[in-house]
Structure 1
Amino acid sequence: MWPKPWTQSLVITLPNKGNLKLCQNYRTISLISHPSKVMLKVILNRLKPEAEKIIAEEQAGFRPRRSTVEQICNVIILMEKYLQHQQELHHVFIDFKKAFDRVWHEALWSTMRK
């Protein structure tokens, strides 16, 4: 489906601050071919509307026109309402490290076929 030259990229490591003997103090960038970038953009534009249908309204991470400031304001408003009604409110903030390392390929292909 993808021409072989499009599957290849040049990966470059760039140093961050800190001890350069540690891998965690580097970041990588991948330089990919222009045709591949164009095709990826087409795929992204097809997937976005489908993703918006299934992502909860409360989800703000990695979504356009959503910010952490807005989310913090929502939490403060919620806390104030619960305090007014003298009710308990429990919060859970989760930082999923490497949350996007795995992709559900069947759903991805199904969406792309549509």
Structure 2
Amino acid sequence: MWRVLGTLSGGPETVTVLADACLLQQPTMTKVLDRMERSGLVTRQQDARDRRLVRVHLAPKGETMLAELLVAARAHEAEVVARHPDAAAIKDLLRALIARQGRKHRPRA
């Protein structure tokens, strides 16, 4: 749920984008979204431009949960960084690896 909420913090996304971001197969992502929708965390709406697509949106309850999780995540991160002096360098390395991986998987024009 954390990855879904975090991904949706940037705005509505398709189920496919969410599945990729959460490293899940699409059927599994659909089941996760079913539970999250029943819990009032997300809503699904048909895309206005392409009716074949469904966009997942954060519901108000999901926005509240995300805000609370972000506070906890930032506090945890600060604690880890304080205990491990190399954590900041490791974070930079991980960001670079993620960016490089994203470039490898983008279709070429």
**Do they superpose with TM above 0.5?**
no
More RCO (CA 8 Å, sep 6+)? 2
Structure number having the greater helix percentage: 2
Q: TM-score, normalised by structure 2?
A: 0.33
Using structure 1 for the length normalisation, give the TM-score. Answer: 0.32
